[in-house]
Amino acid sequence: MAASRDSDAVIANPLKASGLIDSAGLDKARKYQAQQGGLLSEALLRLNLIKENDFLKTFAELYATRFVKADKLKGLKLEGPVVELVSVRLCERMRMCPIRYDTDTKELHVVAAVPLSSNLEPEVKKLTGAKIITVYVATAGAVDAMLRRWHYAENDAFDGVTPNGAGRVRSPAPIGDDTATEPRGVQANASDRTESAKTLVVALEDTAASQGPPATLTPAPGVASTSDAQTIAALRKENARYRIAQEFHRLVAQERTREAMVERILKVVFELVPGAESSAIWISATGELQTRTRQPNAKQSDVPRSVIDQAVMSANGVLVHNALVDERFDRSKSMMLRGVQSVMAVPLRARSRTFGVLYVDSVSHVAAFSDEELATLDSIGAQASLLLDNAELIAKVQQEAENRVNLSRFLSAAAVEEVLSGAGNIKLDGTSHEVTVLFADIRGFTTLSSELKPEEVVEFLNRFFEEMVEAVLNHKGTIDKFIGDCIMALWGAPQPNPAEDARNAMAAALSMVQRSKRVQVRGRPIEMGVGINTGQAVLGCIGSKRRLEYTAIGSSVNLGARLCGIAKPNEVLVTADTLMHAGPGVYADANEPVLVKGIDTPIVPYTLRGLGQRPAPIQLSQLAPAKKK
């Protein structure tokens, strides 16, 4: 059986790190493996490139367990009940064999070939009911000989195992129910089991044997062909992915906020990936990292940047059986500090973009994850990508709706659309710009408010401002602020319209005076004054880090406020600058020059009477001389 690149690395990297094999030796073993098939570990042992004792000692230390050499396994005598505890199919799939069971402590001892399957302990516990699984490591050839001797009654099974522990390695069993395979002692006789076993064994020839390719073996009746097994395997994987997607969607889709969804995703990962001890989601746009550990008090840490980079560049994710010796990560400092051993990471992608990484790791076990679990995590990542992307879109829609509501309180409908669309060139960090500013307040408010109850004051002020705001927004103005009984409005900020700003401010002022008559206090309509000026002002967000306000400041703003202060009841006062910007068609009366606070020279205020239509612009054709007849 051809070894995958991942399992190749799991064998090669620890041996290289221990100095037991060099690149030349690995190349030789891989060449032999390519010609003869089988496993890299068996090729290394058969070619005597590494001694069985050194090989097993390395992996026993790596898995924090003990090892058993082939000659010791050859001399073991197993009792029938021990052999029958675990189905032969499960043994073959995980390359393991039970060797002793303690009924008092319910401890099952098994011998397994490296690399160990991450599912070995949980699956065997579930099947046998054992409370403790003690695993010893051995060579793949020795474990296979154990299986053939005790499950298929091949008493000469160890004859093919070399003194260095290399032997014949059984191909993976066809996909099916593990419990359906005949263990030792069922109806078929020993010769039938031996014949059946031969259809599942790939011979790894000795170096002195013929170099020709191994003969093609015909499956026994009732055994699925390779193509059938592959089809069944593919269907089972698709079905598993579908079930995972359904379960994941059921558990996560009920969350409404992105933060809650991320937290739920990390929690669900532990339910669907049993070997995960820590999980994390990293978002590329913000660098945000949210982590979770299976044990609440376990140490959390950043996801290694090297893993993120690998996952983002990968098509279907990254699987690392032993991060401490994996050449791709060059002994990453963050991995070394946490002692991370097994890692999986998959990219989060939606709308043709990669926006993050879903990551899980294990600090307790080498090879804690398999290709199947990487496929599971990939399925989880695909679902998580869609849900997180949808949550982001929903949040944007909600934020835009909230912004629209907030902006509509201050800006006209047209200005709101322009701001939200990004079409306007809005700067909030402080600029000098020409604006038309309007101030309007109630005449005699102090006396009026002293005669009313507090709730009556608030009620009539709200009615007054309701009318004033409508007048401003209907004429494309921006509400700057409310100051007691005064309202301040701007034209030209944040969106300038030099040709219309002054004229729109005048139209709004006349409308405000008319609307104020609708607001009555104890049967009397209120009276107000308005002041308007046009000039340069500083625009920007003014305040502190905790409280900012977008506003206009400067002498031109102060002049508008002064005009409002001297305006008579229901009078609108404007400056010459505002009249000039408004253009023809404005009806206004000049008043006597006055000195106002903060202005050194007298100014001439104009009382606004009304607005007429602007004269149509003269066409060039109208200026051309008449043609002679």
- What is the average pLDDT score of the chain? 78
How many DSSP H helices and E strands does the chain contain? 22, 20
Task: Give the type of residue at 312.
Answer: V
The confidence band for 237, taking pLDDT boundaries of 50, 70 and 90, is low
Q: Are the C-beta atoms of residues 167 and 145 closer than 8 Å to each other?
A: yes
Q: Which two tokens stand for residue 139?
A: 């060579």
The confidence band for 44, taking pLDDT boundaries of 50, 70 and 90, is very high
DSSP 368-397: ---HHHHHHHHHHHHHHHHHHHHHHHHHHH
Q: Tell me: the pLDDT tens digits for 275-285?
A: 888 899 988 87
Q: Tell me: the pLDDT tens digits for 161-171?
A: 999 989 865 44
What is the CA angle 266-271-272, rounded to 5? Answer: 95
Distance (Å, whole) CA 325 – CA 545: 49
Higher pLDDT, 132 or 418: 132
Q: Is residue 263 exposed (0-12), middle (13-18) or buried (19+ Cβ within 10 Å)?
A: middle
pLDDT value of position 326:
63
Q: Tell me: the pLDDT tens digits for 195-204?
A: 333 322 222 2
From the options 1.10.3210.10, 3.30.70.1230, 3.30.500.10, 3.60.21.10, give the CATH code of 425-611.
3.30.70.1230
Q: Are the C-beta atoms of residues 583 and 501 closer than 8 Å to each other?
A: no
pLDDT value of position 232:
57
Mean pLDDT score, 92-119? 87
Q: Which two tokens stand for residue 157?
A: 């099974």
Considering the segment(s) 5-223 as one domain, its CATH architecture is: 2-Layer Sandwich (3.30)
The answer to whether the Cα torsion of 264, 266, 268, 270 is positive or negative is negative
pLDDT value of position 48:
93
- As a whole number of Å, the end-to-end CA separation of the chain is 106
The confidence band for 242, taking pLDDT boundaries of 50, 70 and 90, is low
pLDDT value of position 98:
92
In sequence order, what are the residues at sequence separation of 6 or more whose Cβ sits closer than 8 angstroms to the Cβ of residue 316?
Answer: 346, 374, 375, 378
- Cα 518 to chain centroid, rounded: 55
Q: Are the C-beta atoms of residues 155 and 74 closer than 8 Å to each other?
A: no
Distance (Å, whole) CA 7 – CA 367: 9
CA distances from 143 to 72, 138, 203 (A): 11, 7, 15
Q: Tell me: the pLDDT tens digits for 426-461?
A: 555 678 889 999 999 999 888 888 888 999 999 999
Q: Are the C-beta atoms of residues 506 and 609 closer than 8 Å to each other?
A: no
Kindly tell me if the per-residue pLDDT of 218 is higher than 50. no
Q: Helix/strand/coil (H, E, C) string of 583-616?
A: CCCEEEEECCCECCCCCCCCECCEEEEEECCCCC
Q: Are the C-beta atoms of residues 370 and 273 closer than 8 Å to each other?
A: no
Kindly tell me if the per-residue pLDDT of 33 is higher than 50. yes
The confidence band for 91, taking pLDDT boundaries of 50, 70 and 90, is confident
The confidence band for 214, taking pLDDT boundaries of 50, 70 and 90, is very low
Distance (Å, whole) CA 564 – CA 443: 10
Q: Are the C-beta atoms of residues 329 and 307 closer than 8 Å to each other?
A: yes
Structural domain spans, the chain: 5-223, 234-395, 425-611
Distance (Å, whole) CA 487 – CA 508: 12
Question: What is the residue whose two structure tokens read 């709706």?
Answer: 401
Q: 234-395 in CATH: which number?
A: 3.30.450.40
Task: Give the type of residue at 53.
Answer: N
Q: Tell me: the pLDDT tens digits for 533-589?
A: 999 999 887 777 677 677 899 999 999 999 999 999 999 999 999 999 998 889 999
Q: Tell me: the pLDDT tens digits for 70-81?
A: 999 998 888 778
Pairing of strands 528-543, 571-574: parallel
pLDDT value of position 376:
83
Mean pLDDT score, 481-510? 91
Q: How many percent of the chain have pLDDT more than 70?
A: 74
The confidence band for 626, taking pLDDT boundaries of 50, 70 and 90, is low
* Nearest C-alpha neighbor of 258 from the set 400, 354, 387, 345: 387
Torsion-angle region of residue 532: left (phi > 0), alpha (psi -120 to 50) or beta? beta
* Nearest C-alpha neighbor of 289 from the set 240, 376, 348: 348
The confidence band for 387, taking pLDDT boundaries of 50, 70 and 90, is confident
Distance (Å, whole) CA 170 – CA 174: 11
pLDDT value of position 311:
86
Phi, then psi, of 486 in degrees rounded to 5: -105, 145
Q: Tell me: the pLDDT tens digits for 301-326?
A: 667 787 888 888 887 788 887 766 66
Higher pLDDT, 618 or 192: 618
Higher pLDDT, 246 or 139: 139
pLDDT value of position 605:
96
CA distances from 287 to 70, 282, 308 (A): 51, 7, 11
Pairing of strands 342-350, 318-320: antiparallel
CB atoms < 10 A from the CB of 450, how many? Answer: 8
Kindly tell me if the per-residue pLDDT of 422 is higher than 60. no
pTM over 0.95: no
Q: Are the C-beta atoms of residues 110 and 138 closer than 8 Å to each other?
A: no
In three-state secondary structure terms, 442 is strand
Q: Are the C-beta atoms of residues 149 and 155 closer than 8 Å to each other?
A: yes
pLDDT value of position 566:
94
User: H helices within 68-176, ranges in order?
Assistant: 70-74, 80-83, 88-94, 120-128, 140-151
Mean pLDDT score, 280-291? 83
Question: What is the residue whose two structure tokens read 């000795």?
Answer: 206
